[in-house]
Structure 1
Amino acid sequence: MRMVEIIGAGFGRTGTASLKRALELLGYDPCHHMSEVLKQPRTTVEWTTALNGDPSVLPGLLSGYRATLDFPACLLWRELMELYPTAKVLLSVRDPQSWYESARATILNPIRGENIDERLAALLMPFSEAMASRGFRRDLGEAETIAVFNRHNEAVRAGVEPSRLLVYEAGTGWEPLCAFLGADVPDVPFPHSNDSASFRENVGKVLSGNAEDLANEPAN
């Protein structure tokens, strides 16, 4: 049975979409990412349960995955370390101000629109509230949001033994990642995807597609 071997502890907008592709190219396939949640919105029910303090749902949520990155799993890095004691921890980081500017244009500015199905919205609202209770809030000002980002990264650095942790600076390419994992550097460029300019368009497509799927399902 596949088990999680890499726990991504970094917030979204720290190069996690590119890292997802990189890890999968290195054989850590599949890698769980927030994009998986958007494609399978009903998993937000179990993720909400985990975020609200019941980690017993995590093995089922992550069954078959070899790595995690981004939200919501990064908010549960402590629980995942206990669940997968041999997994390595990957803390993706970037300059805090640069992170905030990127996040403000994307994940801190959620898409709203008439095309989002009401049942989808009903799933996402408690999920968003549960992430907020774990520290990822969208209602804070710039200084407070950056402080949250910095505190999270400092907590991971302090809470993970150095031999188990890689602090990965976005944009540094294959070498530090492959050295950490004991893998050969692939003969392909490091992936680059999901920049701020394309984020909102891509998420909008996912939400519109999910809304259509949910609308075709019988109501509970």
Structure 2
Amino acid sequence: MPLKVVGAGFGRTGTRSLKEALEMLGFGPCHHMMEVFMNAETQVPFWDRVATGQKFDWEEGLGKYQSACDWPSCTFYKELADYYPQSKVILSLRDPKSWYKSVTSTILPAMKKPVDGAAGPRLPGVFGPKLMGEGTFHNDFSEANMIAVYERHNEEVKRTIPRDRLLVFEAKDGWEPLCKFLGVPVPDKPYPNMNTTEEFQSRVGGGRPPVH
């Protein structure tokens, strides 16, 4: 099943709500970091190969999905956009300082926590150093560097993806621009508002898979 939508925005930019929205609009299932935790036995080895430059096939890890957003797939938005040339790309954004505060209150602490399951112990090693530490933030988690990387990534997406194939989107924009971009009717329901910082911390603290 080819991806129809590629999410290019970093985690904590409303990606959990975007996942829900895409699935409500008929673009599900949507791959998201929570899918990695829920299917760690197959997803962790796949993303380990992707992160370390080993041989892999996108269909192996994403073949059953119609859309993808959040880490780890957003790290490879260019490769995915090339591999699925008919896909549309969504760059989810939020205020940089608000984003930094959210990440440092949720994802960074979660990276250090153990995860249950056979593949669980490999998760921090794959997604911490390889995809976020070295791969994205170069092991510098200072506010200045993380915000600089965040803003540089967003500008790169805007330069890389043709304008007619890209939607720059914030959750506060609601359904209208998203539905217009995807060519689908606007649902008669509020745009999803999911996975606040408090909800994330509750999941991690309760030993459940964190979602972004």
Change (3 A) 1:198 1:162: same
Shift of residue 11, structure 1, vs aligned partner: 0.4
- Name the stretch that deviates more: 100-109 or 55-64: 55-64
C-alpha displacement of 1:56 = 3.0
Query: SS of 2:76's equivalent?
Result: helix
Q: Equivalents in 2 of 1:178, 1:198: separation in Å?
A: 27
Once superposed, what is the RMSD of the aligned Cα atoms?
Answer: 2.1
Is the radius of gyration larger for structure 1 or structure 2? Answer: 1
Letter of the aligned partner of 1:75 in structure 2? T
Q: CA 1:76–1:115 in 2, change beyond 3 Å: closer, same or farther? A: closer
Give the letter aligned to residue 152 of structure 1: H
In structure 1, distance between residues paired with 2:113 and 2:92: 31
1:205 to 201, 204, 207: 207
1:91–1:167 CA contact under 8 A, matched in 2: yes
Aligned match of 1:217: none
Larger deviation, residues 143-152 vs 53-62: 53-62
Displacement of 1:118 in angstroms is 8.4
Alpha-carbon distance change, 116 to 66 in structure 1, aligned in 2, over 3 angstroms: closer
Decide whether the 8 Å contact of 1:9 with 1:156 is kept in 2. yes
CA–CA distance in structure 1, aligned partners of residues 114 and 96 of structure 2? 33
Contact residue 111 and residue 127 of structure 2 kept, 8 A: no
User: Does the 8 Å contact 1:12/1:71 carry over to 2?
Assistant: yes
Q: Structure 1 residues 99, 108: CA separation in 2 closer, same or farther (over 3 Å shift)?
A: same
Conserved in 2, the CA contact under 8 Å of 1:44 and 1:124?
A: no
Aligned to 2:27: 28
| Aligned twin of 2:164 | 163
- What is the one-letter code of the residue matched to 2:141? L
- Tell me the equivalent position of 2:93: 93
Measured in 2, the distance between the counterparts of 1:148 and 1:192 equals 26
Give 3-state SS (helix, strand or coil) of 1:179's partner.
helix
SS in 2 for 1:56: coil
CA–CA distance in structure 1, aligned partners of residues 114 and 136 of structure 2: 28
Distance apart, 1:30 and its partner CA: 0.2
Q: Secondary structure at the match of 1:27?
A: coil
Letter in 1 for 2:149: V
Check conservation: 1:31, 1:69, Cα contact below 8 A: yes
Moved more, 139-148 or 87-96: 139-148
What secondary structure does 1:188 align onto? coil
TM-score (norm 2): 0.89
Distance 1:119 1:60, change over 3 A: closer
* Residue type of the alignment partner of 2:20: R
> Which residue does the alignment assign to 2:151?
150
Whole-angstrom CA distance in 2 between matches of 1:15 and 1:202 = 17
TM-score by length of 1: 0.86
Aligned residue in 2 for 1:192:
193
Structure 2 gap segments, 5+ residues each: none
Query: 1:41 is matched by which residue type in structure 2?
Result: A
Aligned length: 207
CA–CA separation in structure 2 for the residues paired with 1:120 and 1:149: 27
How much does 1:16 deviate?
0.6
Cα distance, 1:112 vs structure 2: 4.5
CA distance in 2, matches of 1:115, 1:11: 22
Q: CA deviation at 1:126?
A: 2.9
| Displacement of 1:73 | 0.1
* Distance change >3 Å, CA 190–CA 114, structure 1 → 2: closer
